[in-house]
Amino acid sequence: MNRSRFALVAGTAVLGLSALTACGGGDGYGAPAADSSSQAAPATGALKLAAAQVGALGTIVTDGSGRTVYIWDNDSTNPSKSSCDGDCAAKWPPVMAGTGTPQLDGIDASAVGTVTRADGSKQATLGGMPIYLFAKDAKAGDAKGQGVGGVWWVVGPDGRKNTAQASGSGY
C-alpha cells in the first residue's frame, strides 16, 4: 500500500510541475521560456568587439562573431550592475569578459570594462552598461532584439543605446 501511495504522490507532483512549466511560455523579453542551462559559458580568450554597420541602425557594436550587442535599461552604470540572470540570461546571454587584453575595432578601450555577475563570473561592459547578445539573432547582422519590451537596445561604439528601429524588424 505504501508503494502505491508513493507512486500516486510522485505522479501528481510530476503532473503539477509539468503544468507549471507549460504556463511559463515567455516573460515579455521577446523569447520563449528556456532553462538557465543555456546561459553563456565563460568566454575563453580575449573579448572581441567591433563597430559595424547594421542596416538602418547605423554603426553599432558586434561581438567577435559579428553578432549584435545590446544593453538593457534595467541595468545600471553607477555602480555597474547586471540584473539579467536565470531565464533572462538564457534569452539574453551576457557577453563575457574573457581573458587577456580585449581586441577592439572602432571602440574606445577606455569605454570597455567588466562587472561581476551574481554567479561570480565577469561580464563585459561598455560605457559602464553590461552588454548582451539576443538568443533569437541567428546570424551576424541580425538585430531582432532591438526595442524588445521597450527596454533592450543595440549599443553604439560610444556605449550609448541606439533607439532607432531596424527596417523590416516588425516593430
pLDDT in tens, 61-110: 999 999 999 999 999 998 999 999 999 999 999 999 999 899 999 999 99
pLDDT at 157: 94
**Sequence letter at residue 153:** W
Identify any residues that bridge with 162 across adjacent strands, giving them in sequence order. 154
If you ran DSSP here, which 8-state letter would residue 37 be given?
G
Q: Is there a cis peptide before residue 79, judged by omega within 30 degrees of 0?
A: yes
pLDDT of residue 55: 87
Closest residue by Cα to residue 136 from 44, 29, 24: 29
- State which residues of the chain have pLDDT below 70: 1-44, 166-171
Instruction: Calculate the CA dihedral of residues 160, 165, 167, 170 and round it to 10 degrees.
Output: 140
Specify the pLDDT at position 78. Answer: 87
What pLDDT, on a 0 to 100 scale, did the predictor assign at position 166? 64
* CA distance linking residue 161 with residue 73, whole number of Å: 9
Distances in whole angstroms, Cα of residue 129 to Cα of each of 75, 136, 164: 7, 21, 19
What's the pLDDT score for residue 16?
Answer: 38
The whole-angstrom separation of Cα 85 and Cα 117 is: 8
